[in-house]
Amino acid sequence: MREVHTDEITKVVRDLFMDANCNLGEDVLAAFDHAIEKDESPVAREVMKELKENARIAREENSPICQDTGLAVLFIELGQDVHIVGGDFKDAINEGVRQGYMEGYLRKSACDPFSRKNTGDNTPAIIHLEIVPGDKIKIMAVPKGGGAENMSRVNMLTPAVGIEGVKGFVVNRVKESGSNPCPPTVIGVGIGGTFERSALLAKKALLRKIGERNPDPEIAKAEEEVLERINKLGIGPMGYGGNTTSLEVFFEVEPCHIASLPLAVNIQCHASRHKEAVI
C-alpha cells in the first residue's frame, strides 16, 4: 500500500485546471497551423490566426483562453494499491477545483438548474472514477464549456443502421450544430455500452490527442471518413464558411446489448482543453 495525502490531490487538481484553461495543447496548435495553411477561405484563415494569437496571449499572460472556463470534469484512474490519507477523497478534489478557479481568476459557471443560482466556486466537480491496478493516481482534468456541450446528443439507434447509420448521425449532428459550438470542433463519439455508458465513452474520447487514431483499423477508417465528410459541409471556423469545421473525430467502441446500438456525440470547441498528471 502506498499512502497519498489528500493535500497532494488538491494541489494537483488545482494546478491542472489552471494549466488546462490557460495553456492550449501543442496538438491543437499544430491543427490550427494546418488550417491556416490549408483552408480555402480567407476569412477562415483569418479566424484561425486570431485563435492562434489568442492562445499566445493566454499562455503569456496566464489568463484563460476562453471566458467559459467550464464545469470541472475529471477522469481519475485510482490504483488499487493506493491508500488515501488525510481526509475525504471527493472533498480533496472539490477543494482543488475551488482553489484553481478562485486563484486562477477562472469563471465560476456551476449553478442550480432551476433557480440558476451560482454555486460560487465552480463545485461540485464531475468525477469519473475508475479503479485500476497499481499504486498511482492518474488525474485528467477537462474543463468543459457550455456552448459545445449543449450541441451534444445521445441516441439509441436501431442495430440495423450499422456503422453507416452511426456515421450519418454524427455528420448530421455537426451540420445541425452549425456555428453554435465554436467550430472548428473536436468530436467525441461513444458507441456501445448502455445509454449512460455511450455518453461517458464520447466524453472520454475527447481526452485523446489530435491525430491519435483508434487502434482498430476499421474504426480508425471510420473516424477519418467522418472527419472528411464533416469538413465538406462548408461550415468552417466560427461558421463563416470554410473547409475546417472539425479538427478531429474520435470513436470509442464497446460491446452493447443485443437489442441496442447506443450512440453519443459529445462536441468539444476548438480549445479542446485537457491536462493530466500522475501522483
Partner 1 sequence: MPKQIRLTTPLSTEDVENLNIGDKVFLNGIIYTGRDAAHKRLIDLLNEGKELPFDVQGQIIYYVGPSPAKPGKPIGSAGPTTSYRMDAYTPRLIELGMKGMIGKGNRSPEVIEAMKKYKAVYLGATGGAGALIAKSFKKAEIVAYEDLGPEAIRKLEVENFPVVVINDTKGNDLYVEGAKKYRKE
Distances (CA, A) of 108 to 58, 64, 75, 170: 18, 12, 20, 31
Of the candidate residues 33, 40, 88, 196, the single one contacting partner 1 (CB under 8 A) = 40
> Candidates 64-72, 89-97, 210-218, 247-255 — which segment interacts with partner 1 by CB under 8 A?
64-72
Residues 65-94, interacting with partner 1 (CB under 8 A): 65-69
Give the cell for residue 207: 481526452
Distances (CA, A) of 181 to 16, 169, 263: 24, 17, 19
- Of 54 and 172, the one with the shorter C-beta distance to partner 1 is 54
Q: Does 43 bind partner 1 (CB under 8 A)?
A: yes
- Of 82 and 269, the one with the shorter C-beta distance to partner 1 is 269
**Residue 106: CB minimum distance to partner 1, A:** 6
Cα dihedral angle (30, 32, 37, 41), rounded to 10 degrees? 160
Give the cell for residue 10: 488538491
**Residue 231: CB minimum distance to partner 1, A:** 8
Calpha distance 227→19 (Å, rounded):
28
Q: Does 171 bind partner 1 (CB under 8 A)?
A: no
Given a contact cutoff of 8 angstroms between Cβ atoms, the answer to whether 142 and 128 are in contact is: no
Residues 191-230, interacting with partner 1 (CB under 8 A): none
**Residue 80: CB minimum distance to partner 1, A:** 38
Calpha distance 198→266 (Å, rounded):
10
Of the candidate residues 1, 37, 42, 217, the single one contacting partner 1 (CB under 8 A) = 42
Nearest-5° angle of CA 265, CA 23, CA 189?
Answer: 10
Q: Could you list the residues that contact partner 1 (CB under 8 A)?
A: 40-44, 47, 50-51, 53-54, 57-58, 61, 63-69, 105-109, 116, 118, 146-147, 150, 178-182, 232-236, 238-243, 269-271
